[in-house]
Structure 1
Amino acid sequence: MTKTTHNTQYLKKLKAESSKLKANAGFTLLLSVLVAGVLLAIGLAIFNIVIKELLLSSSGRDSQFAFYAADSGAECALYWDQKQSGFSTSTAGDITCNQVTVPSVGGEGYDTPMTFQFEIDGFCSIVSVTRSETHPRTKIESKGYNTTCDNNLNPRRIERAIRVTY
């Protein structure tokens, strides 16, 4: 075998292996893009779940704040009704809840709601007291919000309510 023939055969063999490598390189690139796409989809799905969990946990916390505001409003109304006669049907008087004085509460007569609001550390409480001549004589409805009283357009505003009758 001559040197020229040997070189020609070597070049043909090298060319055949080179074309096999090129075909394998395209398949490897396709496989790596496919794996990257699957991993990206899994990552985005996990990210979506995490965001929903964070929103759910924060809404639970905000719900507690709204309930505490409603409870504070009901307790304040109960205190002023039971201990101070703050919701008289004949004469209006001032009451104080959380160091906020609410003027002219009462004097509305029977079956007319007496409504007032105050804020507790940035959380709103709106209380309505209705006196009646029949049972139940007093109905207190307290609504608590996780936002301030003037922030009623917040899409994440949560309302919790407590009703007390006696």
Structure 2
Amino acid sequence: MMKKFSISNLRFSINGGFTLLLAVLFVSAFLALSLGLSNLIIGQIQLSGTGRDSQSAFFAADSGAECAVYWDRSSGSFSTSSPSTITCAGESRPVGGAPTSSFDLNFSNGSCVSVVVDKSSPSETIITSIGHSPCNGRKVERGLEVRY
């Protein structure tokens, strides 16, 4: 047996949708606030990652420059007349025998360095060390130049 409903028994109130409207406005404001806050947090996380990579790249550049200065000052490994082998960060690299020598090193933290030693001027040695972090893909580069 089916029950019959009559439309004439329904009562409509002018204030009937106010609570629903207030709830929708409150949820919308909360959603907008949370999206803005999450966008700010994501930006800060990316910025801190860039700072970490910048620090690693700088330390890689510093390590490469220090290694080149050490081997040049202690044993003249970057001589323009005869080639030799240097060892930095556990890696052996052939250098020397030309006015300009270059070598690359990889470090255990994922950073690397490219070092160029220029002895083309007899009165000055220029060491250019460019650190990268990470070594591939989107990377941060920091460089140092040593003159003596």
RMSD: 1.5
Match in the other structure for 2:115:
127
Match in the other structure for 1:108:
98
Taking structure 1 as the reference length, the TM-score comes to 0.79
Match in the other structure for 2:147:
165
**One-letter code aligned to 1:124:** C
Match in the other structure for 1:145:
132
For residues 1-166 of structure 1, what are the structure 2 equivalents within 5 Å? 18-20=11-13, 23-103=14-94, 105-109=95-99, 113-121=100-108, 122-135=110-123, 137-148=124-135, 151=136, 154-155=137-138, 157-166=139-148
Taking structure 2 as the reference length, the TM-score comes to 0.88
**One-letter code aligned to 1:123:** S
**One-letter code aligned to 2:69:** L
Q: Write the deviation string for residues 105-164 of structure 1: whole angstroms up to 9, x where unpaired.
A: 11113xxx31100112121011000003354x100000111123xx2xx12x10000000
Q: Gapped runs of 5+ residues in structure 2?
A: 1-8
Q: Write the deviation string for residues 34-74 of structure 1: whole angstroms up to 9, x where unpaired.
A: 11111100100000000000111111111100000000000
Higher share of residues assigned helix: 1
Identity %: 44
Higher share of residues assigned strand: 2
Distance across 2 between alignment mates of 1:99 and 1:28: 71
